[in-house]
Amino acid sequence: MNIVPGTRGSLAAAFIGVVALFAAAIAMFALRTGRHAVAPDDASLAAAAKILARDVQLGDAIGFHPEWSASQKWRFADAYRQNALKYDDALIVGDPTDLWDADGFKRLWVVSTHNRAATLKLSARRLRDEDLDHGTELQLFDLGASRTAYDLRKHLADAIVERKQPDGTLRRCIWNGESKHICGGDWWLDVFDAVHEVGNSRHNGLMVQPGAKDGLARITWPRPTPARVLAGRVGLRLWAVRNDIGSDVKVRALVGEREVWSITLHKADFAWHPFEVRLQPADAGRPVIFEFSAADGNWRQTVLDARLLDATAAPAPPHAALPPGVLPAPIVAAQPLAAPAPAAAEPAKKEKRGKRR
């Protein structure tokens, strides 16, 4: 038999090509099938909402993990409405779900989808874990008692916001009566609370930009609740690190006139920087101040979320400051810091619904 030179190699190559195409088609089919297998369907989300409607209580927050996958939120809003509770007030919009964001609630429901429940890391006691099929789980966590004495972000209306002017003086911004301090000019000079993307995550925080050349913004909370710890996190917003314009940002925290913490954020630093500072007894009730400065503040959009933790009694005024015949208030003994939240514990039994037909 005569074989044209190269024909055998051409047939082999063609065969390999057909096999490769067939394998790619199988892989694509498997990928699509697997994707549908873990995505939530109507029945799994309806089952989660049904459990919530039956067992939700006043003081329960709700979050979704991962947050971007959340769908059919109307089901969960209805579950809250049926129990005369406000869904919008209970919704935790942070991503990933964070105990810091859920602070102040008694319990936290988390709807996990796409088989991501195992990646949810919360240092809180888990009360329930319901496997609802199609990669969907509903978990309930006990949040315990809150340590927060005064949330600076939530008391933005009580703050005094000032900006340094070209002549070196500080000019006070104007509270608009609703949600922000208006500092004149462009919107990015205003100070307001919103969800911002920092460090590949999205959480609420106050956006503060130092200004332009030799900029400085100063926020003062004049009458905070006395507490023992100043804690929080700070970082540059995504839109800041995307731009090479501007310089590094220095953030200072002061209690009264005493600096208690500071950090310099490199202009390309895209990360949250947490802090926790133990205060002195004399700091109780003194003004809390945050300053943001930069040699070139253009595009240096900085996000702050801070709180005072572990409430304490304000120091008694000196005798000379009391009216005649009035005795000084008794000194309240200092209490130890609240114990950290217990590590997550496995529920006694993980329930799983039967297969649906």
- Separation CA 206–CA 223 (nearest Å): 19
Q: For residue 307, which phi and psi values (nearest 5 degrees)?
A: -145, 160
Question: How confident is the prediction along the chain (357 residues), in pLDDT tens digits per residue?
Answer: 444 455 555 555 555 554 555 555 544 444 443 444 588 999 999 999 999 999 999 999 999 999 888 789 999 999 999 999 999 999 998 899 999 999 999 999 999 999 999 999 999 999 999 999 999 999 999 999 999 999 999 999 999 999 999 888 999 999 998 899 999 878 999 999 999 999 999 999 999 999 888 999 999 999 999 999 999 999 999 999 999 999 999 999 999 999 999 999 999 999 999 999 999 999 999 999 999 999 999 899 999 999 999 999 876 655 444 444 444 444 333 333 333 344 444 444 454 444 333
Q: Are 63 and 122 spatial neighbours (Cβ–Cβ below 8 Å)?
A: no
- The pLDDT value recorded for residue 357 is 34
The Cα 165–Cα 96 span in angstroms is 39
**CA 248 – CA 293 distance, rounded (Å):** 9
Supply the pLDDT for residue 94. Answer: 87
- Quick one: tokens of 210? 């130092």
Instruction: Please give the C-alpha separations between residue 22 and each of 8, 11, 39, in angstroms, as whole numbers.
Output: 21, 17, 26
Q: What's residue 353's pLDDT?
A: 47
Residue showing tokens 């104007």: 174
Q: Which CATH superfamily is domain 148-311 in?
A: GOLD domain (2.60.120.680)
Residue 208 near residue 191, CB atoms below 8 Å: yes
pLDDT value at residue 184 = 83
Domain limits, the chain: 42-145, 148-311
- Give residue 185's pLDDT: 79
Full 3-state SS string of the chain: CCCCCCHHHHHHHHHHHHHHHHHHHHHHHHHHHHHHHHCCCHHHHHHHHHHHHHHCCCCEEEEEECHHHCCCHHHHHHHHHHCCCCHHHHECCCECCCCCCCCCCCEEEEEECCCCHHHCCCCCEEEEEEECCCCCEEEEEECCCCCEEEECHHHHHHCEEEEECCCCCEEECEECCCCEEECCCCHHHCEEEEEEEECCEEEEEEEECCCCEEEEEEEEECCCCCEEEEEEEEEECHHHHCCCCCCCEEEEEEECCEEEEEEEECCCCCCCEEEEEECCHHHCCCCEEEEEEEEECCCCCEEEEEEEEEECCCCCCCHHHCCCCCCCCCCCCCCCCCCCCCCCCCCCCCEECCCCC
pTM of the model as a whole: 0.76
